Structure 1
């Protein structure tokens, strides 16, 4: 299971601001403003999704997180 936060169809209006990405409106001068402030356009076809992570939680790590934050009595 993974989630996609920025789709490839969003890439043409998405800028890389260093610590975050911004998906900007097509209309207006938003893209120009961000570029003037140092942001960079992402590559054509760019997507941002959890399926591309370098690290994935193990089943045991997920169990620990569920017990700590959702249900202390959770077990499988």
Structure 2
């Protein structure tokens, strides 16, 4: 399950790719959210990668790829049994 901030970061990455055709850099994510350091962005990206939402290719600045099957914050449970 994703935190609110992780969901926001993932949504930003997805929308950035849809509009610009390429993923944002770590610095662009930092500026968008107003994080004090690049380390804050790296922490969120590492969590998204651990949870299977993104993949990062080392050595590239625009290295974020969104993966299918990312767990959402809202878990759906059957209402009727």
Give the shorter-chain TM-score range.
Answer: under 0.3
Between Structure 1 and Structure 2, the one with more strand by share is 1
Q: Normalization by structure 2: what TM-score?
A: 0.26
Q: Normalization by structure 1: what TM-score?
A: 0.27
